């Protein structure tokens, strides 16, 4: 099912397709002892990782090329985005810094990539 974004897709105005997925993980450090006891604690001050597998809706090839140029220019740095269903923007990074093209037709393509919430400055 196509999504009508209404505007050109950019990192700051990221419109995601219905096929996009959110994954949440919690980082822990654990130590297993010989008597069967297992000690666990959170890893760091921000132990929850929020990861999105993003797919853009199909867009004209010219817009997909422009979006790819923005991805290349952004590289390993962060960008600000408000995920669907949330009201507060957060910082995000491409992780890994890679993306894939999916050609829907001769004239339309979508781009897929993974992003992770970034807690740095």
Cis-peptide, bond into residue 96, ω within 30° of zero = yes
pLDDT at 49 over 60: yes
In the prediction, which pLDDT does 51 show? Answer: 97
In the prediction, which pLDDT does 58 show? Answer: 92
Question: Regarding predicted confidence, which is higher, 20 or 5?
Answer: 20
Instruction: Name the token pair of 34.
Output: 């010989």
8 Å CB contact between 93 and 47: no
pLDDT at 110 over 90: yes
pLDDT in tens, 59-100: 999 999 999 999 999 999 999 999 998 999 999 999 999 999
Instruction: Name the token pair of 10.
Output: 């950019």
pLDDT in tens, 8-42: 899 988 989 988 999 999 999 999 999 889 999 99
| Calpha distance 106→27 (Å, rounded) | 43
Q: How far is CA 102 from CA 9, 106, 121, in A?
A: 16, 11, 33
Domain boundaries, the chain: 21-117
Q: How far is CA 61 from CA 2, 6, 8, 95, in A?
A: 16, 16, 12, 24
Contacts of 83 (CB under 8 A, 6+ apart): 22, 50, 52, 90
In the prediction, which pLDDT does 1 show? Answer: 37
């Amino acid at each position: 099912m196509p999504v009508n974004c209404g505007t050109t897709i950019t990192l700051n105005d990221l419109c995601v397709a219905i096929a996009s997925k959110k994954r949440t993980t919690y980082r822990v450090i654990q130590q297993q002892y010989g008597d069967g006891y297992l000690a666990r604690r959170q890893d760091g001050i921000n132990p929850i990782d929020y990861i999105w597998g993003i797919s853009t809706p199909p867009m004209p090839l010219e817009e997909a090329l422009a979006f790819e140029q923005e991805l290349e220019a952004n590289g390993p740095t962060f960008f600000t985005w408000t995920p669907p269903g949330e009201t507060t923007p957060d910082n995000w990074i491409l992780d890994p810094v890679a993306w894939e093209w999916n050609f829907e037709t001769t004239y339309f393509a979508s781009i897929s990539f993974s992003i992770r919430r970034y807690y740095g400055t």
